[in-house]
Amino acid sequence: MSEPLLYDVADRIATITFNRPDLMNTITRRMLEQFSELLLRADRDPEVRAIIITGNGKAWCAGLDLAAAQAGDAFENDGKPTLPPGEFDLREAPPIVLNKIDTPTIAALNGGAAGYGMDLALGCDLRIASNKAKLSAAYTARNLVPESGGTWLLPRIIGWSQAADLLFTARTLTADEALDMGLVSEVVEPDALPDAARLLAGRIAANGPLAVRAAKRMMRHAMSEDFEDHVQRQYLALLPLFATKDFREGIAAYMEKREADFTGE
């Protein structure tokens, strides 16, 4: 049996790939646990400066594995008592760490992202899409709400009115519609998606990794702070950066009109 998640690191970029193409890359409990473990592994690796998340096959991630739930194997509970067929207890779901790590994440949407899969895509810092990709907000059509933070993320990404439109009507967006809404930043041909994702990740990886990670932390804190508190936090974040080798390298590279060679020190 092939691994449901693949992991690779090259050129300072980690790639996590959903690998259940015959099941539209639907998520099981074990996959969620492994997904969080791989995100933390990449975040702790000093050689990794960006993370790409993509899928094999026609889907990026079509959400929770409902087929397993219908069989009474809710979230593949590893021998624990299961819920009645078709029911999930999301209180037992492993925590997703997308909103806790400091390494930038890029969702390279090769295909459809629906339900839980759409929430995971929204949890990434950046999203680029194949023109074959779709984003499905069909929660209310199943008498559900987003399972993993979608109602928190979506209004912050595209605004209240557009988020309400998507959630209340259970719309499915094409890649171009998602681009127009600001849900994705780029749409490319399917064959061009891997290179486009690596190009974007490479641009991130070329910058000072300590500063990039600090910038992501600052943005995360800014979501719940007022301006004065946040400016004070920014000042405290700047002080240790001034003392780094990478700060001196960045200034030297600017003065010498060359590309900086940052080491994360």
The pLDDT assigned to 93 comes to: 52
Q: Are residues 244 and 140 in the same domain?
A: no
Q: Are residues 198 and 215 in the same domain?
A: no
The pLDDT assigned to 179 comes to: 97
- Average pLDDT score over the chain: 88
Q: Are residues 219 and 233 in the same domain?
A: yes
Q: Are residues 135 and 175 in the same domain?
A: yes
Which tokens belong to 32? 């969620």
Q: How many domains does the chain have?
A: 2
- Categorize the per-residue pLDDT at 70 as very low, low, confident or very high, splitting at 50, 70 and 90: low
pLDDT above 80 (res 200):
yes
Within a domain: 260: no
Q: Are residues 214 and 195 in the same domain?
A: no
Q: In terms of pLDDT, which residue wins out, 22 or 144?
A: 22
pLDDT above 60 (res 259):
yes
Q: What is the CATH number of the domain that holds 45?
A: 3.90.226.10
Domain boundary among 188, 205, 222: 205
The pLDDT assigned to 106 comes to: 98
Q: Are residues 46 and 141 in the same domain?
A: yes
Within a domain: 88: yes
- Categorize the per-residue pLDDT at 1 as very low, low, confident or very high, splitting at 50, 70 and 90: low
Q: Are residues 75 and 183 in the same domain?
A: yes
The pLDDT assigned to 97 comes to: 87
Within a domain: 223: yes
pLDDT above 80 (res 136):
yes
The pLDDT assigned to 139 comes to: 83
Q: Are residues 199 and 217 in the same domain?
A: no
Q: Are residues 119 and 224 in the same domain?
A: no
The pLDDT assigned to 74 comes to: 46
Domain hosting 245: range is: 209-255
pLDDT above 90 (res 145):
no
Within a domain: 262: no
Show the CA angle centred on residue 89, arms to residues 87 and 94, nearest 5°: 130
- Categorize the per-residue pLDDT at 144 as very low, low, confident or very high, splitting at 50, 70 and 90: confident
Q: Are residues 200 and 233 in the same domain?
A: no
**Parallel, antiparallel, or unpaired: how do β-strands 50-55 and 59-61 relate?**
unpaired
- The mean pLDDT of 150-164, rounded to a whole number, is 92
Q: Are residues 11 and 42 in the same domain?
A: yes
Tens of pLDDT, residues 72-109: 444 444 444 444 444 445 545 555 789 899 999 999 99
Instruction: Write the DSSP assignment of 63-94 as a string of letters.
Output: -B-HHHHHTT-TT--TTSPPPSTT---GGGSP
The pLDDT assigned to 68 comes to: 62
Please state the φ and ψ torsions of residue 129, each to the nearest 5 degrees.
Answer: -135, 145
Distance CA 200, CA 196 (A): 6
pLDDT over 90 percentage in the chain:
71
- The mean pLDDT of 16-44, rounded to a whole number, is 94
Q: Are residues 193 and 167 in the same domain?
A: yes
